[in-house]
Amino acid sequence: MDRNRIEGAAKQVKGTIRQAVGKVTGSRTAQLRGTVERMSGKVQSKAGIAADTVRARLKK
């Protein structure tokens, strides 16, 4: 498993939590930062999946 997949998943969780805290506190800035962090995590996770796929195909 690629390191990017793990870090991306962690960013998604942190972003979701930050987004929820922003909703509870009424902070639109925290909400937006949470959304950005969550989306960044998704992109990083997808990059890790792509790297794993390439590695698997090269092994064949």
Q: What is the span of the domain harbouring residue 17?
A: 3-59
CB neighbours of residue 11 within 10 Å: 20
What tokens appear for 58 in the block?
């090269």
pTM as predicted: 0.84
Rounded Cα gap, residues 36 and 2, in angstroms: 22
Query: 10-56: per-residue pLDDT in tens?
Result: 999 999 999 999 999 999 999 999 999 999 999 999 999 999 999 99
pLDDT band for 1, please (50, 70, 90 cuts).
Answer: confident
Position 41 scores a pLDDT of 96
| Total count of domains within the chain | 1
Position 34 scores a pLDDT of 97
Position 52 scores a pLDDT of 92
